[in-house]
């Protein structure tokens, strides 16, 4: 019997054409809106495999009804939308797409850092509002990044790429905090491991690159921002719920930190009347870290290959819960 694959939206052709070459029956959701969870469940019930992404809720409710799935292949590096523990207990392997977007996401973190330091988005909006006035030698001053200290929270694949950019461009000192030390990255970047509080105290730019877990959820809250330098820039390109957004807004308003660059917000999507959008030192993007042609094509290929290899050889090149395949 041909395997039926549910594809939860229109992913780049690069991966979809690989699936089409195999002997699968594909159902691709083609509407210009995501499926509701009810629609996703209804469809998934009649399929063997699912290709999904970060806004598809693969939670307890979904898995209770779709425990028959052979494989869930996530088009993303993060998988906090998936109840992996439950999938594992049901024997469902979960694939993901690491590394495909490391360069693209690090570019966004690096770009946001410069944009915040020089108030770029605010000044752009000022021109649109007809507010390009006279040359004021003391107006709208930014800060320079040369020789500053970059603190990385979560020095993994993407954090390393961000640190490399900052080192090469501005000779920044690199400090980091992780669950476990990354000795290879320490050597590569001459980076120092510090405790979380020291990361807060010492960073001129603090960039978040960890996964969202119960431990990291809203770890950047009022008490964390209070410990940071008043000149510090907070960058988050990982997951919005890692910061407490009202506390972040308050921290900038109170001068506890200088500003923020966010590619992820808490919640998403950010509403247009959010005060951060009109702040001088805040630059916000709508979760586009992996949004390059190269990264999205590669993600699509990896997500497709996870399904193909699973059916052809019971291997999944990029798997979140490898213990399932050993059972």
Quick check: is 61 catalytic? no
In the complex, minimum distance from the CB of residue 248 to ligand GLV, in angstroms, rounded to a whole number: 19
Give the nearest distance from C-beta 164 to ligand GLV in angstroms: 20
Q: Is 235 in the site for ligand GLV (CB under 6 A)?
A: no
Return the number of the residue (76 or 175) whose C-beta is nearest ligand GLV. 76
Candidate ranges 15-23, 72-80, 112-120, 248-256; the one touching ligand GLV (CB under 6 A): 72-80
| d(C-alpha 72, C-alpha 8), whole Å | 11
Q: Does 35 bind ligand GLV (CB under 6 A)?
A: no
Sign of the torsion angle spanned by Cα atoms 140, 141, 145, 150: negative
Query: φ and ψ at 283, to 5 degrees?
Result: -125, 120
- Helix extents (H) in the chain: 13-21, 37-44, 60-65, 84-89, 102-117, 120-128, 157-170, 183-189, 196-202, 222-227, 245-253, 293-313, 323-326
Minimum CB separation from ligand GLV for residue 54, in Å? 6
- Write out the two tokens for 190: 């001459």
The smaller minimum CB distance to ligand GLV, of residues 25 and 288, is found at 288
Order of strands, edge to edge, in the sheet holding 259-262? 192-193, 173-177, 149-153, 205-208, 233-236, 259-262, 282-284
Report yes or no: 74 and 99 within 8 Å, Cβ to Cβ: no
Which member of 5, 101, 115, 172 binds ligand GLV (CB under 6 A)?
101
Alpha-carbon distance values, 115 to 26, 107, 110, 238 (Å):
42, 12, 9, 18
Determine, following the binding rule CB under 6 A, whether residue 8 of this chain makes contact with ligand GLV.
no
| Complete edge-to-edge strand list for the sheet that includes strand 3-7 | 24-28, 3-7, 49-52, 71-74, 94-95
**Catalytic-labelled residue, pool 239, 244, 296, 318:** 239
Span interacting with ligand GLV, options 56-64, 75-83, 107-115, 201-209, rule CB under 6 A: 75-83
Which residue's CB is nearer to ligand GLV, number 288 or number 325?
Answer: 288
Q: Using H for helix, E for strand and C for coil, what is the string for 216-236?
A: CCCCECHHHHHHCCCCCEEEE
Return the ∠ at Cα 211 (arms to 200 and 196), rounded to 5°.
Answer: 20
Of the residues 42, 64, 254, 268, only one is catalytic, namely: 268
Q: Does residue 239 contact residue 214 with C-beta atoms inside 8 Å?
A: no
94 binds ligand GLV (CB under 6 A): no
Asked whether position 156 contacts ligand GLV by CB under 6 A, the answer is no
Q: Is 48 a catalytic residue?
A: no
Q: Looking at 15, 78, 111, 240, which residue binds ligand GLV (CB under 6 A)?
A: 78
Among positions 12, 15, 241, 289, the unique one binding ligand GLV when judged by CB under 6 A: 289
Cis bond upstream, residue 267 (ω within 30): yes
Radius of gyration of the chain from Cα atoms?
21
Taking the C-alpha atoms of residue 274 and residue 284, their distance in angstroms, rounded to an integer, is 11
Among 40, 51, 54, 66, binds ligand GLV (CB under 6 A): 54
Among 290, 298, 300, 321, binds ligand GLV (CB under 6 A): 290
268 is an active site residue: yes
Catalytic choice (47, 244, 287, 296): 287
Taking residues 258 to 287 in sequence order and writing x for each that binds ligand GLV by CB under 6 A, - otherwise, the string is: ------------------------------
The verdict on 154 binding ligand GLV (CB under 6 A) reads no
> Which residues lie near ligand GLV (CB under 6 A)?
54, 76-78, 101, 289-290
Catalytically active residues are 239, 268, 287
């Amino acid at each position: 019997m041909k395997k039926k694959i549910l594809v939860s939206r229109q992913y780049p052709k690069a991966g979809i054409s690989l699936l089409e070459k195999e002997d699968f029956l594909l159902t691709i959701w083609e509407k210009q809106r995501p499926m509701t969870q009810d629609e996703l469940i209804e469809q998934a019930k009649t399929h063997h495999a699912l290709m999904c992404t970060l806004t598809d809720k693969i939670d307890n409710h979904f898995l209770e009804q779709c425990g028959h799935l052979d494989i869930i292949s996530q088009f993303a590096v993060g998988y906090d939308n998936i109840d992996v523990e439950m999938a594992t207990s049901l024997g469902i392997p979960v694939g993901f797409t690491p590394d495909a977007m490391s360069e693209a996401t690090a570019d966004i973190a690096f770009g946001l850092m410069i944009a915040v330091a020089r108030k770029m988005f605010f000044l752009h909006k000022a021109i649109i509002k007809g507010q390009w006035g006279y040359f004021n030698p003391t107006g709208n001053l930014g800060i320079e990044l040369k020789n500053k200290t970059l603190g990385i929270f979560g020095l993994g694949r993407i954090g390393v790429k961000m640190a490399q950019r900052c080192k090469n461009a501005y000779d920044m000192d690199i400090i980091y905090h992780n669950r476990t030390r990354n000795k290879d990255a320490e050597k590569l970047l001459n980076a120092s491991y510090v405790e979380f509080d020291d990361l807060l105290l010492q960073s001129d730019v603090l960039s978040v690159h960890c996964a969202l877990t119960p431990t990291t959820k809203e770890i950047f809250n009022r008490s964390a921002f209070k410990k940071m330098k008043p000149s510090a820039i907070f960058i988050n390109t990982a997951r919005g719920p890692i910061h407490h957004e009202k506390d972040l807004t308050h921290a900038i308003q109170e001068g506890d930190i200088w500003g923020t660059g966010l590619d992820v917000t808490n919640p998403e999507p950010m509403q247009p009347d959010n005060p951060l959008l009109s702040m001088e030192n805040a630059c916000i993007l709508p979760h586009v870290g992996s949004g390059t042609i190269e990264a999205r094509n590669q993600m699509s290929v990896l997500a497709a290959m996870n399904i193909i290899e699973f059916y052809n050889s019971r291997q999944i090149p990029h798997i979140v819960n490898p213990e399932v395949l050993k059972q």
